[in-house]
Amino acid sequence: MNATLPALLVGLTSHVGGRAHNEDAARAGRAVFVVADGMGGHAAGEVASSIAADTLLELDQRSVLHPGDVIAQVEEANGRILSSAAHHPEQTGMGTTVAGVAVVHVGASPHWAVFNVGDSRVYRLLDGELRQVTVDHSEVWELVRRGELTPEQARHHPGRNIVTRTLGREPMGQVDTWVFPPYAGERFLICSDGLSNELSTAELEQVLTSIDDVQQAADELVRRAVDAGAHDNVTAIVVALPGVESDLDEDTTPREQIDRGAGSQG
């Protein structure tokens, strides 16, 4: 297998939505893609999300990444947020979610590493089917996991914005990760909850399967969320691995298993 992937296609869009200012931060490099959704008064949420996104993007400067590097960098981002708040009292209590995708190496083979803390999400489109990879760290999603709410009911639940893990806390809590091999033609959607609270998985899938251009797809997703009356900031990154025939890994993980991924979940 090649030691690198073909150049990835990326589209990124963010909109203030129904808020006074945008506390989402999104960054896209060559091999690292991240969305952070900040929280905290006096624009401190914007500070926290920017610190998180910028810290994760630093990984893009490395020639080779491993899954542990991603986890360590999320922990580094948490430390920087806490340090900033300690030096600036007006930032006390600020925090942020973070979710993203990075190209890492397992042995000599490139793999995807999906990661998250909080309720920003990563979805994967493979063979025309969109599935949520990440698990929300929220009180409402715990009800979904226990079968007490459906995902659709969770989108409209009054407590849907109560998260159970964020950066900006000590201890931060575990970083959930999933590591799996790439397949030509697949796509990822990384988004803040301002998007996933407004559009169903079916609506997300319809846009991602019907619009080839990744920037146009990201624009359309955000436009639909805003038109639906988004009460929050709305951010989307669409990442696509070109659908070309290559010697992408055929041996490491059976195709029917990769949607569950591998790695750690807390």
Residue 1 has pLDDT above 90, yes or no: no
Tokens 């006074």 label which residue? Answer: 20
Per-residue pLDDT at 244? 59
Q: What share of the chain is helix, strand, coil (3-state, %, to 5)?
A: 30, 25, 40
Lowest mean pLDDT among 65-69, 88-92, 94-98: 88-92
Check residues 20 and 59 and name the one with the higher pLDDT.
59
Using alpha carbons, select from 231, 239, 238, 240 the residue that is nearest to residue 15. Answer: 231
- Hey, what CATH topology would domain 9-245 get? Phosphatase 2c; domain 1 (3.60.40)
Per-residue pLDDT at 261? 41
Summarised one tens digit per residue, pLDDT across range 192-223 is 999 999 999 999 999 999 999 999 999 999 99
Distance CA 216, CA 168 (A): 33
**Domain layout of the chain by residue ranges:** 9-245
Residue 98 has pLDDT above 70, yes or no: yes
CA dihedral over 128, 131, 134, 137, signed as positive or negative: positive
Per-residue pLDDT at 136? 93
Check residues 131 and 172 and name the one with the higher pLDDT.
131
Residue 61 has pLDDT above 70, yes or no: yes
Distance CA 140, CA 154 (A): 6
Summarised one tens digit per residue, pLDDT across range 144-156 is 777 777 777 777 7
Q: What integer best gives the mean pLDDT of the chain?
A: 89
CA dihedral over 72, 77, 78, 82, signed as positive or negative: positive
Summarised one tens digit per residue, pLDDT across range 123-168 is 999 999 999 999 999 878 677 777 777 777 777 776 667 899 999 9
